[in-house]
Amino acid sequence: MTQEQKQVVVLGAGGAGLMCGARAAARGRSTVILDHAEKLGKKILISGGGRCNFTNLEARAETYFSENEHFAKSALARFTAADFLAIVEKHGLPFYEKKLGQLFCLDSAQRIVELLRIECAQSGAEIRLGTKVESVERREEGGFLLHTSSGEIVTESLVVATGGLSIPKIGATDFGHRLARKFGLVVTPLAPALVSLTFGPDFLQRFGDLSGVSVDAEVSCRGKTFRENILFTHTGLSGPAILQISLHWFPGDAIRINLAPDRALEAHFLERKKEGSRRELKNLLAEIWSERLAEKLAEEFALPAGPMHQVSDQRLRELAQSLHAWELFPMGTGGYGKAEVTRGGVATEELSSRTMESKKIKGLYFIGEVVDVTGWLGGYNFQWAWASGVAAGENA
Ligand SMILES: Cc1cc2nc3c(=O)[nH]c(=O)nc-3n(C[C@H](O)[C@H](O)[C@H](O)COP(=O)(O)OP(=O)(O)OC[C@H]3O[C@@H](n4cnc5c(N)ncnc54)[C@H](O)[C@@H]3O)c2cc1C
């Protein structure tokens, strides 16, 4: 069997792999991007509710979770949100800022897939879909030998861009993590992230029938705080603030929810008491939250019945404190079937932060979600895919 010769093989035609392939080919490197999927960019197509939140203007190393919080700095500084935006504008894609620096396609995520396909075609990077990689060997004389379903390929550089484990039904695999381990690279613990949090029967019995109710809140865990909506569901809690905190939550941790981030509840309660309010505390809560939620909170915090002017100041203070810092212990997460990303991946200590090349194995690169760099919700993960893809594409 003849062996095809390439200078760069990229495994995985997601955002990171396509960006990297286009950059490598633009430098004149013979490049092929392999993917086992039959269709290009499936994850991009389902992203951002079908409109792909393709970057975030606020992306910086602090908006990512990694064992080394400084690792992403270099790549993010050398290929910024503005750099990706310049490509978007070059292709004439209409976009809009939804909120908090999040940029979305105005019409469809398909436009981003098309943009990447064109970038690859113009630079000469070949995209080969429906191709399985059976094995990867390191050659004594340098480079790698790949056995694929479409024949053998010898390459100088191998870029692994096979993504994380989330949404297995559209082709996510642990191929990249296994390959890293096979070559002796450390992979940090993996977990679903940007995902709903599940709770035990106790919580569900108390709050399960609030399913569908959402409330503006501040959610904290391990020193990180996010202010957005939380949503009660039939399995626990979801909504943007919960998805964000799931990136920082580890089993056994409590999360803390401030249900009234804009109000000084203690002063409010004491004030109303001073006015001699004859209202029940429960009814006072219903002025702040919906009646259903107020009812549940009244039960949760064992609110005394009767007019509030009879409730002690101490009890009112305690109640205000509880509502500003409601401590809950999630049981788990919605899992990889629901998660937007995988936390953890190829350890950053194994890679050059400038090029994404393995420090141990010359010519082997890891980019995108397979690396232990995971962004917040809001376009940060694509920005990492582009930036790490460019970093490797300029060097591989
Ligand atoms: C529902 C959902 C919505 C999201 N929305 C957003 C959003 O709006 N904004 C944002 O920034 N992030 C979003 N994300 C996260 C974002 O999609 C990912 O972080 C990003 O796509 C990662 O890019 P990647 O190229 O590293 O990996 P992927 O896009 O996962 O690409 C990996 C590629 O490798 C291929 N592959 C895997 N295993 C093999 C194998 N063994 N052989 C050959 N090929 C293989 C896969 O088929 C895939 O094409 C979302 C994720 C989900 C699940």
* pLDDT tens-place string over residues 336-352: 999 999 999 999 999 99
CA distance 371 to 357: 11
Question: Is the CB of residue 120 less than 8 Å from the CB of residue 18?
Answer: yes
Q: How far is the CA of 164 from the centre of ligand 1 (A)?
A: 7
Q: Is 340 in the pocket of ligand 1 (CB under 6 A)?
A: yes
Taking alpha carbons only, the member of 180, 152, 141 closest to residue 32 is 152
Write down the pLDDT at residue 1.
Answer: 63
Write down the pLDDT at residue 345.
Answer: 98
Residue of the CA atom closest to atom 10 of ligand 1 = 379
Domain with CATH 2.40.30.10 in the chain: 196-334
Q: How far is the CA of 152 from the centre of ligand 1 (A)?
A: 26
Q: Is 165 in the pocket of ligand 1 (CB under 6 A)?
A: no
Read off the pTM. 0.97
Q: Say if domain 3-189+343-393 classifies as CATH 3.50.50.60.
A: yes
For residue 154, the Cα-to-chain-centroid distance in whole angstroms is: 34
Taking alpha carbons only, the member of 14, 10, 12, 84 closest to residue 43 is 14
Residue of the CA atom closest to atom 22 of ligand 1 = 369
Question: Is the CB of residue 338 less than 8 Å from the CB of residue 313?
Answer: no
The DSSP call for residue 91 is T
Kindly state the helix (H) or strand (E) to which residue 142 belongs, with its residue range.
none
Residue of the CA atom closest to atom 3 of ligand 1 = 47
What is the block-wise mean pLDDT of the chain (396 residues), using blocks of 10 residues? 92 98 98 98 97 98 97 98 98 96 97 98 98 97 97 98 96 96 98 98 96 97 97 98 98 98 96 89 93 95 89 95 98 97 98 98 98 98 98 98
Q: pLDDT tens for residues 146-205?
A: 999 999 999 999 999 999 999 999 999 999 999 999 999 999 999 999 999 999 999 999
Token pair belonging to 251: 């089993």
Write down the pLDDT at residue 156.
Answer: 98
Write down the pLDDT at residue 349.
Answer: 98
Best residue among 19, 33, 39, 43 to mutate for probing ligand 1's pocket (most ligand atoms within 8 Å of CB) is 43
Ligand 1 atom at minimum distance from 379 CA: 11
Domain with CATH 3.50.50.60 in the chain: 3-189+343-393
Q: How far is the CA of 387 from the centre of ligand 1 (A)?
A: 15
Ligand 1 atom at minimum distance from 40 CA: 49
Q: Is 104 in the pocket of ligand 1 (CB under 6 A)?
A: no
The neighbouring-strand residues paired with 342 are 192
Write down the pLDDT at residue 2.
Answer: 79
Just give the CATH number of 196-334.
Answer: 2.40.30.10
